[in-house]
Amino acid sequence: MHLRYSFRIEPSPGQCAALARTFGCARVVFNDALAARKAAYKADKSRIATGVLARQVITEAKRTAERAWLAEVSVDALQSSLRDLDTAYKNFFESVSGRRRGRRVGLPVFKSRRDRRQSVRFSRNGFRLRDNGRLNLAKIGDVQVRWSRALPSVPSSVTVIKDASGRYFASFVVDVEPEPLPVVESEVGIDLGLTTYAVLSDGKTIDNPRFLRRAERRLRKAQQALSRKAKGSNNRVKARIRVAKAHAKVADTRRDWAHKQTSKLVGENQAVYLEDLAVSGLARTRLAKSVHDAAWSMFRRMLEDKAARTGRHVAVVGRWLPSSQTCHQCWTIDGKKPLHVRAWTCGGCGVTHDRDLNAARVVLAAGQADRQNASGGPVRPGVKTSRPALPVERGTHPTPQPDTTGRQAGIPAR
């Protein structure tokens, strides 16, 4: 399975300028290619082949006065933009035809130079890892990397990212083997919420950290300072970066907390069952800020990814399961209850239930029943690969290549 390993990088001022040129050139090539394909489809509903498109917007464009500066950056980064465009069109057509699951994907759109997040990808032809731990990027040079751990295998591609706060990251795509954990007997159902982040079917609870709510005062002051700066001034740019850094700190803290909680759940339980929540609908209610702060989708995605790597099982029960209305002992459906009712007595067996704990136990029972009755799925839990890296991000070589990039799999942590 393919995973991404992300590290902070520290480019020099000259390398930052070179990266800015690469970001801009890759964006221009993407937009030119998209415009050419739109024009061809509008003219006679034809599709320009990728090779012809590359020759038109890269090779021939370099010979013109308007696009001569494309020769200043790596051609590998420009070709990656065309592969991104092909992937965007592929995702659109698969979504329209029903082969792609999830929310409908729209047509690719033009990239804006005003986007605060910039990225460019290099295949194995465009980067090299030095013996001294530096990352060599074509026509950019050797960039200092903050290694926190060694790469498990030779990377097939690297994506250089600049976020809104001005930080640079290198995201490597590597091929790793699953590492199954020892089999345990425990299984758990989880009821996610806002007052308490998660209530487990075994009675344990996870408090809601509310990272955004706790940082609201600092964010409000930073945003107020930004609003007072004159538009177009250097002070406004500095204030914008301070706001972006404050938001990045909240996001980083939330992500770190979610990693720790999901790792603990996957490590202690053989199977984890969740309820399919309508997050997009809840995000349009008066609870929108709290719903976004909870990041339930990220929590679920991390559980699924780690379960696929460790041989665990994560399942999601239907969102129409009346978990808050059903008694987990006699299975009597007792009707809807307003949110302020946190405990209720079953009319069938007379047992008093905690609302969230009962819901978690109903989710556990429903998930176990679905797992036993499922057909066509993998025989062993956890064997499917969750969220693999896209084929376009795995480099240009379908077969393993010799290691010619230094100590890629054994770079020491700094």
Q: Supply 305's token pair.
A: 């990814």
Closest to 258 (Cα-Cα) out of 247, 266, 246, 269: 266
User: For the purposes of burial, counting CB atoms within 10 Å of the CB of 302, is it exposed (0-12), middle (13-18) or buried (19 or more)?
Assistant: buried
Query: Of these residues, 304, 305, 356, 393, which one is catalytic?
Result: 356
256 is catalytic: no
142 catalytic residue (yes or no): no
Residue type at position 174 = V
Please calculate the CA angle 111-33-74 and round it to the nearest 5 degrees.
80
Residue bearing tokens 């200092």: 144
* Tokens at 103, concatenated: 């929310």
Catalytic residue among 187, 191, 293, 393: 191
Q: Spell out the residues 6+ positions from residue 406 whose beta carbon is closer than 8 angstroms to its own.
A: 128, 129, 130, 131
In a 10 Å sphere around its CB, with 0-12 CB exposed, 13-18 middle and 19+ buried, how is residue 121 labelled?
buried
Q: At what angle do helices 234-268 and 296-310 cross, to 10 degrees?
A: 50
β-partners of residue 141 are: 137
Contact 109, 88 (CB under 8 A): no
In the residue annotation, 187 being an active-site residue is answered as no
Choice among 275, 293, 304, 393 that is catalytic = 275
Nearest to 356 by CA among 365, 346, 344: 344
Burial degree of 410 (CB within 10 A; 0-12, 13-18, 19+):
exposed
Active site residues: 191, 275, 356
